[in-house]
Amino acid sequence: MKDIPQPLSAINSNFITELTSFIRVRGLSYSTEKTYVHWIKRYINFCGYQSRQDISSTDISRFLEYLVIEKNVSPNTQKTALNAVVFLCRELLKQNTDSLKYKRSKKGPKIPEVFTHHEAITVINELAEPAKLVAQLMYGSGLRINETLRLRAADIDLETHSITVRNGKGNRDRKTLLPSMLVRSIKQQLDLVKVLHDRDLDKGFGEVYMPYALALKFPTQARGYGWQYLFPASKLTVDPRSGKMMRHHITDRTVQKHVMRAIHKAKIIKKAGCHTFRHSFATRLLEKGTDLRNIQELLGHSDIKTTQIYTHVAGIHKSGVRSPLDN
């Protein structure tokens, strides 16, 4: 259950406990919490701070330049580290961070690797269930792997052929499309979830993790069918916060392992993985003339600039430009 926030009592540092509590009060997502804690720890270790009083925003510039010069990080990585340490100094410690000057990473943005449609289908057909359906949703709906695995039964709308993504990246909800060809497979998966859930209830279990203390506010809902994961794990596990036996979803690592094997079997030599399905979804839509804003909404990008990177992938195919050798 690595995507469930750990109890504060499990943290063995008073300062990290304070930091984690502050992050949660601000309502930031758990993925942001883990990222911020990681970079703040690296910042503290880099500067050699021994106590809370030693921490200073004056060292931020030195740390960011170290990441670029010594570690050769990308602009996005440097920006993530900046956000984390500024959050620490400005928000938690109330220090001034207005006059930061540092060497910015100049690595250019990478063009995402994408599958051709044939490659995507070939890889999918090499997979067994439930990894096959997970991959189909990543390619057919543009979902990230963890967005797919965190889907609940109630997030699927078979009538409107739509999927609701809850608490996606940036802690935002969004709607995306459910491919018509997957309706039958989704119905079968939902039937499997119902059978498994009824079996758990008969054995005195059946609760599932609910975020933001919703289990306390709606105690009966945690045992409801609608909250059950679309891709449930094969075994019950202990929730680290409540200590109760619950059925979580299958792990991303399991799916990633199966997808990598399928890519190898398909003899695809691209640097590809689960996220390549999402890149391929966006590229296919763009190639078919879908408006960039619509793609942005479906992908859940907060900034249109993030979506525009796919124009570099699809553009050469749409332009009609021919090589001189082909004339």
∠ CA 124-174-287, nearest 5°, is: 50
Q: Which of 126, 123, 85, 119 is nearest to 102 (CA)?
A: 85
Indicate which residues carry an active-site annotation. 144, 169, 275, 278, 301, 310
The one-character DSSP state at 108 is P
Chain Cα centroid distance, residue 207: 24
Q: Which of 125, 58, 91 is nearest to 268 (CA)?
A: 125
Phi/psi zone of residue 101: left (φ > 0), alpha (ψ -120 to 50 degrees), beta? beta
- Residues 197, 228: Cα–Cα separation, whole Å: 8
Q: Which of 291, 290, 259, 294 is nearest to 277 (CA)?
A: 259
Q: Are strands 162-165 and 174-177 parallel, antiparallel or unpaired?
A: antiparallel
What is the length of the chain? 327
